[in-house]
Amino acid sequence: MASELIIQLQNRDGSFNCEKFENLPSPKSVYIAICFTDNDLSEQLAIDLKTKLISSITNLETNFINTTPPCNGYTVGFNDCQALNIPDNLKLLIVVSDGLSDTFANPTVLNWINDILPILPEGTTVLLPEPFKIPNIAFWRNDIDEIIPTIFGLIGISDEDQRIFISYRRDDTTEFAEQLFDRLHHEGFDVFLDRFSINPGVNFQNRLYQELADKAMIIFLESTTFLSSPWIQLEIAFAKKYRLGILALNIDSSKKIPAIDNEYRIDVTLSNDTRQIGEYELDNLVTEIRRRHSIALYRMKNYLNSNIVAALASKGATTTFDNNGFINVADGTGTLDYKIWATPRPPKVNDYHYTDISHSDGEKVIIGPEFQESKREKVNSWLSQKSEVKYYNEGEILNLLNIIYP
């Protein structure tokens, strides 16, 4: 995905400096402007956010490099960047406030008409002026870099849809698992915890496979008897085989899962009384989970896209990514175009709808993960037969290649 990032940061006098980066790991090229309310603390927060955002993207994509922008990076007025004239670019204004100030050195930022992300410290009540007085304000607790996963979702690096599976032993960590479930749920995550997520009479193993396939990340609560459960062994094997993100929370120095490296592990100490963790520790843990989840989802999708492109290249095909994230490729005769949407999780009706409305012509294809539990597989087979969008799982890529290049 050879996309570009143009990022502008406001100066204290209201002007903006510009930088350009190539190989942004997103299907779309992106323009971001970061402005701030008129005081020293807001300025420092904006600088920190920009620095940490660039560092986080670099950690994902080693080829993400700084290059010279068309304006040579000179100070320009707001709304004067050439990138704003490109209709297909994603355009985002990030508005940073310390939670106390609500005025701006450059009033022209108030004329912005594209996407907006206001950022405030949690617990502040400052009312920003229009058009920044919107419901979807992002709040941070301890550090402004907590907002980076939200930005990743907005600019297409990862999915804004956050789904996590919690693996635990009821005898050891029920209180902590419920605490984590409750907090992640209130933070907007779709969380699977068997105590709340499986109704009586449901086939446990089938539901387990369905939930695992639908998630981007598993959190393992390593406790005293954790490794004695056969279900947990199944979950570990599934995560490894299908490249789900993994995070082990080691409870009170319990025995570690041998298959998980320490770089994917965080030590946790529970209170002897509540068997939970304190609010400050929970804040930090959820921030780290959000960061790792966005990385896991990006890597899953990037891996699938890379496999599809490599398979097509083996047949001599030339592929491109369009501005909606689809892989474009022509058939062997050059007369029929294929539009391929890759989803690292089992596709739902929304994937078929998005694939259908994004292109008026050509062959429309969805490629999803190799594993699906039987009910979901039947639904996708039926949708594929009833619509103009054809579905293949990752293990059927060669079947698709033989159709495109018979």
Q: Give the tens place of pLDDT for each residue, 196-255.
A: 445 544 556 677 777 888 888 999 999 999 988 888 888 888 898 888 999 999 999 999
Q: How far is CA 206 from the centre of its chain?
A: 27
Q: How far is CA 223 from the centre of its chain?
A: 29
Domain shared by 203 and 229, yes or no: yes
Surface-to-core class of residue 190, CB atoms within 10 Å of its CB (0-12 exposed, 13-18 middle, 19+ buried): middle
pLDDT at position 2? 61
Q: What is the pLDDT of residue 200?
A: 47
Is 78 among the domain residues? Answer: yes
- Are the C-beta atoms of residues 338 and 329 closer than 8 Å to each other? yes
Residue 303 scores a pLDDT above 70? yes
What are the structure tokens assigned to 140, written together? 């941070």
> In sequence order, what are the beta bridge partners of 95?
35, 118
The reply to whether 206 and 142 lie within a common domain is no
Residue 309 resides in a domain: no
State the Cα–Cα distance between residues 143 and 31, nearest whole angstrom. 24
Residue 135 binned pLDDT confidence (cut-offs 50, 70, 90): confident
Task: With 0.75 as the threshold, say if the pTM is over it.
Answer: yes
Residue-range definition of the domain harbouring residue 370: 314-404
Structure tokens at 231: 């279900």
Note whether residue 307 is domain-resident: no
For position 75, what pLDDT does the model report?
Answer: 63
| Omega cis (within 30) before 107 | no
What secondary structure letter does DSSP report for 253?
A: T
The verdict on residue 248 lying in a domain is: yes
Residue 205 is predicted with a pLDDT of 67
- Structurally, the chain folds into a number of domains equal to 3
pLDDT-derived band at 91, boundaries 50, 70, 90: very high
Classify residue 98: in a domain, yes or no. yes
Residues 352-404: pLDDT tens digits? 988 998 888 899 999 998 887 777 788 888 988 888 999 999 999 999 999 99
Contact 33, 10 (CB under 8 A): yes
31, 95 contact by CB (below 8 A): no
Q: Which of 154, 177, 197 is the last residue of a domain?
A: 154
Query: Above pLDDT 70, what percent of the chain?
Result: 95
Q: What is the CATH number for 198?
A: 3.40.50.10140
Same domain, 335 and 266: no
Are residues 256 and 181 located together in one domain of the fold? yes
Q: 274-306 burial by CB neighbour count: b if 16+ within 10 A, else e? A: ebbbeeeebbbbbbebbbbbbbbbbbbbbebbe
pLDDT at residue 65 tops 60: yes
Amino acid at 261: D
In terms of domains, do 142 and 10 share one? yes
DSSP string, 78-126: TT--GGGG-TTSEEEEEEE--SS----S-GGGGG--SEEEEEEETT---
Coil/strand/helix, residue 208 = helix
Confirm whether 290 is domain-assigned.
yes
Position 197 scores a pLDDT of: 46
Q: Select the more confidently predicted residue: 239 or 85.
A: 239
1, 60 contact by CB (below 8 A): no
Q: Angle at CA 219, nearest 5°, toward 295 and 234?
A: 115
